[in-house]
Amino acid sequence: MANTDNLLSFVAAEAITEYALVSVNVDGKVAITDAATENNCVGIAQRACSAGDSVEVKVLGKSRAIAGGNIAPATMNLLMATADGKLIAFDAATDKYAVARMLPNINQASASSGDQINVIFTGPVALTAVTP
């Protein structure tokens, strides 16, 4: 049986795409995370939905996500948000948050923009110095 402890339902504030990062807004609804500076990112939507729909969000642990650029986990496996709820390699800037790390495997050692990838969502973590 699947563990659903880390899967919560939220009301969508806007249309959300499958596997997009989402943040909670002031109304307690989720919207697509659009920047690495958003510290209210709560998880990864597990399906697409329309505004007003209920959507399941993985708030901690393994999930699929969408790459927003080239990712080379051997160089940097920490990831941060970018436009449209996608993930890119973390750049260690002081105003940005790492929210996940990529789980590469023999079939997917790297990723390009638009690829579905396996990640561990950890939530926003501010890091000032990162050593890969």
Q: What are 87-116's pLDDT values in tens digits?
A: 999 988 888 999 999 998 888 888 999 999
In this structure, the answer to whether residues 54 and 79 fall within a common structural domain is: no
In this structure, the answer to whether residues 121 and 78 fall within a common structural domain is: yes
In this structure, the answer to whether residues 72 and 116 fall within a common structural domain is: yes
Question: Residue 2 domain-assigned?
Answer: no
Region for 4 from its dihedrals, namely left if φ exceeds 0, alpha if ψ lies in -120 to 50, beta otherwise: alpha
Q: What average pLDDT does range 63-85 have in this prediction?
A: 93
Q: What average pLDDT does range 39-59 have in this prediction?
A: 97
Q: What are 75-87's pLDDT values in tens digits?
A: 888 999 999 999 9
> Is the Cβ–Cβ distance between 43 and 62 less than 8 Å?
no
Q: Examine the fold and report which residue of 59, 81, 103 is the final residue of a domain before the chain moves on.
A: 59
DSSP 63-82: EEEEBSS-B-TTT--EEEE-
Q: Examine the fold and report which residue of 59, 75, 90 is the final residue of a domain before the chain moves on.
A: 59
In which domain, by residue range, is 110 found?
A: 63-126
- Give the pLDDT score at 100: 96
> Is the Cβ–Cβ distance between 98 and 47 less than 8 Å?
no
Question: pTM (2 decimals)?
Answer: 0.90
Specify the number of domains making up the chain.
2
